Structure 1
Amino acid sequence: MFKGVALSVLASVTFGVLYFYTQFLKPLDSEQTFAWRMLATLPFLTLFMWWSGDLKHITEIFKRIFKEPWMLPWLIFSSLLCTTQLWLFLWGPINGRGLEVSLGYFLLPLVMVLVGCVLYKEKLSRWQIAAVTFAVIGVGHELWRIGGIAWETVYVALAYPLYFFMRRVLKTDHLGGFWWDLFLILPVAFYLGFVHSDSLVLMQYYPHLIWAVIGLGLFSALGLGSYILASRYLPFVIFGLLSYLEPVLLAFASIMLGERVEAAEWLTYIPIWLAVLLLVIEGCLHIMKQKRSSRMLTQNIENVSNRLDRE
């Protein structure tokens, strides 16, 4: 569990950095940025998988495609669900829709918790119930405030749970499955990067873009790889609730990029931050409890050993 929590936190922090990182990719537009993100992420992800020993999962899926041809259309659908989310993640801050996208990430954990409780029969602790309550208040206030819900928000909130659920059903919920998600979208990335745009010309005029794209691939591989691994190690409910750290960081990044939080919006963000705080407190208490249990176990073993020595 601790490994999954650490990976989830690492992914959220990396995504927060990436949201702000888009400013270094100007004057690339959102489609060009998406294309180069896919092209740059796959090599770094492959290196990451070589280091972690997960390369075998790529060939396992390749063999499954030949044995079970029906898998290929579902893998393509999985790739579209994943990569359109990655496109939207970059499109939002570049086009001044960062807060709408971040609201989708506020709503996403609630949907993940619902999926975990309904489909996987996972139980919530008291701390988690309190966190969900605060989250519902915050998200509910925002929906009431704006009188509706933006399409960016809906897509983020619904497509990701479907994506993770389908990966578990297909048994591709590992880095190999994610590698195939990126690999299958490469034709689109090549088209957007080399045919549909003048991004190579822009790189000649703005040499910093070359380093920015390399950094984009490195950060993306680190964040997305950690996120995928966390989804494998954690129950659906815990994975969903920990995802609340990401929208908090995305909101801060959007503010740093010039978007403003109006006075009426604070009733959205404050309950969300309280929900994250409750999860942090629960995590700290859980770690302290584990340490106490470990110390007690060590003491018991020492006591038994001493009695045996005396006897």
Structure 2
Amino acid sequence: MNQKSVKSGVLFAIAAYVMWGLAPMYFKALNEMAAPEIMMHRVFWSVPVLFILLLARRKLGQVIVAILAPKILKTLLVSGFLLAVNWLVFIWAINNDRLLESSLGYFINPLINVALARAFLGEKLTRLQGVAVAVVFIGVVNVLVAYGELPWVSLVLAGTFSCYGLLRKKVAVESMPGLFIESLFMFPFAIAYWIVVQPEHSNLLTNDIELNSLIVLAGVITTVPLLCFTAAARRIRYTTLGFFQYIGPSIMFVLAVGVYKEPIDSTKIFTFICVWAALIIYVYDLLRVYKQAPKI
């Protein structure tokens, strides 16, 4: 992996997480629509946006090659399912004023990345990384004891996206063709929902221009950060990718508490402190390992 590729991977990672951090502002603007309806538009408008991009960059041939490879197609089917679950839960959480839980999920994500990298990519788990994972576990148990239930929104978002990133790192297909195929897998379900359920805002001719503009923008909002993420995942180590993960949830946390005024009690504060402490340990360990590594 050359230095130029790594640098571009870092820039892609930063761009992806900043955009994801600000994404709740977009979905809040569509708050009058139900989560499945927003999800439907998110999938529907992503397909033409990706098709145009692939056509412009002359990469439609890569889509055909991937479709004709059964192993790649099966992997993208699974990653597409994980992505669909992640999208739907995220939208639902924002619409139901649970942005803090979403933030917590994406704070946990880097530590799950570490565990997955150890289990499936052969990347070694250092002692400090083990400590960081244990501290996050304490924070999750704290919520379980206090509320009598697991923070399912946080765990689903963290788990699905970590597994999605792992699959996309291992599959031999570029980011844009892969995302297009994943979106194609979701597309029939979006169309079926549109026809059968006929949600309130499904007829674009009866909506005002502002709402229709926001709806169509779903394709861009969805596609651009995911393309940046998958491009980053293929250029840098998976554990290094986790280093930038805190950007998105930090922005979400500020939005949840400072802008949308979601309540935060002592239990949530303690859990966030555990997760932030784990991230500090994790980042410190990454920097320590980087400084000790031989420079070429």
Distance 2:289 2:223 in 1: 30
Does structure 2 retain, via aligned residues, the 8 Å contact 1:108–1:158? yes
Distance 1:45 1:274 in 2: 39
Shift of 1:244: 2.7
Shift of 1:126: 8.5
Does structure 2 retain, via aligned residues, the 8 Å contact 1:117–1:237? no
Does structure 2 retain, via aligned residues, the 8 Å contact 1:48–1:221? no
Structure 2 unaligned segments of length 5 or more: list them: 1-5
Structure 1 unaligned segments of length 5 or more: list them: 298-311
Corresponding residue for 1:187? 188
Does structure 2 retain, via aligned residues, the 8 Å contact 1:20–1:257? no
Distance 2:163 2:286 in 1: 27
Distance 1:222 1:87 in 2: 18
Q: How much is the aligned-residue C-alpha RMSD, in angstroms? A: 3.5
The correspondence of residues 1-311 of structure 1 with structure 2, limited to 5 A, is 1-49=6-54, 53=57, 55-56=58-59, 58-66=60-68, 68-69=69-70, 71-123=72-124, 135=136, 138-172=139-173, 174-196=175-197, 197-201=199-203, 204-255=206-257, 256-274=259-277
Considering only CA atoms, is the larger Rg found in Structure 1 or Structure 2?
Answer: 1
Moved more, 21-30 or 187-196: 187-196
Does structure 2 retain, via aligned residues, the 8 Å contact 1:93–1:254? no
The DSSP-based 3-state class of the residue aligned with 1:233 is: coil
Distance 1:263 1:69 in 2: 50
Does structure 2 retain, via aligned residues, the 8 Å contact 1:35–1:189? yes
Distance 1:128 1:47 in 2: 42
Amino acid at match of 1:23: K
Structure-2 change in CA distance of 1:61 and 1:217 (3 Å): closer
Structure-2 change in CA distance of 1:172 and 1:230 (3 Å): same
Distance 2:87 2:153 in 1: 12
Q: TM-score, normalised by structure 1?
A: 0.76
Amino acid at match of 1:238: T
Amino acid at match of 2:86: Q
Distance 1:74 1:288 in 2: 36
- Report percent identity of matched pairs: 23
Distance 1:124 1:9 in 2: 24
Does structure 1 retain, via aligned residues, the 8 Å contact 2:113–2:239? yes
Residues 195-247 of structure 1 deviation map (CA, whole Å, 9 limit, x = unaligned)? 42232347624331111123332222221111111211121212234323322
Structure-2 change in CA distance of 1:69 and 1:91 (3 Å): same
Equivalent pairs counted in the alignment come to 288
Structure-2 change in CA distance of 1:49 and 1:286 (3 Å): farther
Amino acid at match of 1:26: N
Distance 1:280 1:133 in 2: 15
Distance 1:284 1:117 in 2: 18
Distance 1:173 1:279 in 2: 29
Amino acid at match of 2:118: C
Distance 2:125 2:27 in 1: 36
Distance 2:237 2:55 in 1: 26
Distance 1:287 1:239 in 2: 14
Amino acid at match of 1:259: E
Q: TM-score, normalised by structure 2?
A: 0.79
Q: Larger helix proportion, structure 1 or 2?
A: 1
